[in-house]
Amino acid sequence: MAQVQAKLVELDIPREKLPRHVAIIMDGNGRWARRHGLPRIEGHRRGVRSVRTVVEESCRLGLQQLTLYCLSVENWKRPQAELEFLMLLLEQYLREERQEILDQNIRFTAIGRLEALPANVRRELDVNCQVSRDNTGLVLCLALNYGGRAEITDAVRALARQVRAGTLDPESITEDTIGQALYTAGMPDPDLLIRTSGEMRVSNFLLWQISYAEMHITPKCWPEFTLDDFHAALRDYAQRQRRFGGLPSS
C-alpha cells in the first residue's frame, strides 16, 4: 500500500481520479520496425516489453482491469509467416509470464473467438486462466481473434436462441441483458481507452463497452510506449470531467 501511495504522489493523481479499467489498442508495431529498418516481426517482439511495463505499473497502481487488444478478427489477412510468428510469440509470452501472473496476484482472462486460435495457444490460455482464477488483483484481459461487431453478433445469436427456446421474452431484453451476453459479461466498462501510433479510430474494439470511455491518443508506436507515456495518459484522464451525457456539476 505504501508503494502504491508513493506512486500516486509521483503521478500527482488522487486515487479516486484513477481509472478502474484501462483498455489499450496496441498499434504501430510494423511501422516502428519499418522506421528502424527492421522486419515487422521485430516490432511485435519489442512490443512485448511495453506490455510488461504497462501490466506491472497497472498492478502497482492498483487498477482493477487492463484489457489489451492483441489480435483482431481482421488480422488474419496478414502474411502467413507473420501470423505464425505472432502465434509463437503469444504462446511464449503466456508460458514465460505465468509465474509473474501468480506472483503479482493477477487474474488472467481472454475474450474473442478463441476457438479459432491454434490448439497450442488455446492450451496455454486455459492454463493461465485456471491457475490464476482465484487471484484477487489486476484482471488482465487479452482480446484475441476479437472484433466488436463479431462480439455483438455472437451475443445476438445467443439471445435469439434463448427466444427460440422460449426462455427469453423479447420484450424483456434490456441493455443489461445484452451486456450479459457479451464476452465481457461481469467486467466493468473501460474508463480510459488508449490508442498508440496516432490513428484516430477505434478499430472495431469494444464497440459496446467504450460508449462513455475517455480516449487518449498518442503518436508513439506501441514498441516505444514507455512508463512515462502511460503516466501521461493517466494524468490526461484524471483531468477529464466525466458527465455521461449530463451537465457538469457545479
Residue holding cell 461481469?
Answer: 186
Residue holding cell 490508442?
Answer: 195
Sequence-separated (6 or more) residues with CB below 8 Å from residue 181: 155, 156, 158, 159
237 grid coordinates:
484522464
235 grid coordinates:
494524468
* DSSP string over 46-67: HHHHHHHHHHHHHHHHT-SEEE
The verdict on domain 2-7+19-148+188-234 having CATH code 1.10.10.920 is: no
Task: Identify the pLDDT of residue 11.
Answer: 82
Which of 71 and 241 is assigned the larger pLDDT? 71
Reply yes or no on whether the pLDDT at 246 is more than 90: no
Lowest mean pLDDT among 39-53, 79-93, 97-111, 235-249: 235-249
Q: Could you give phi then psi for residue 72, rounded to 5 degrees?
A: -95, 165
| Residues that are catalytic | 27, 75
Alpha-carbon distance 139 to 120, whole Å?
23
Residue holding cell 510468428?
Answer: 85
pLDDT digits 0-9 by tens, 171-230? 999 999 999 999 999 999 999 999 999 999 999 999 999 999 999 999 999 999 999 999
Sequence-separated (6 or more) residues with CB below 8 Å from residue 19: 63, 190, 191, 192, 214, 234, 237
Residue 243 pLDDT class (50, 70, 90 cuts): confident
Percent of the chain with pLDDT over 90: 90
**H-assigned helices in 97-244:** 98-103, 119-131, 148-165, 175-181, 227-238
The pTM is what?
0.93
Sequence-separated (6 or more) residues with CB below 8 Å from residue 240: 214
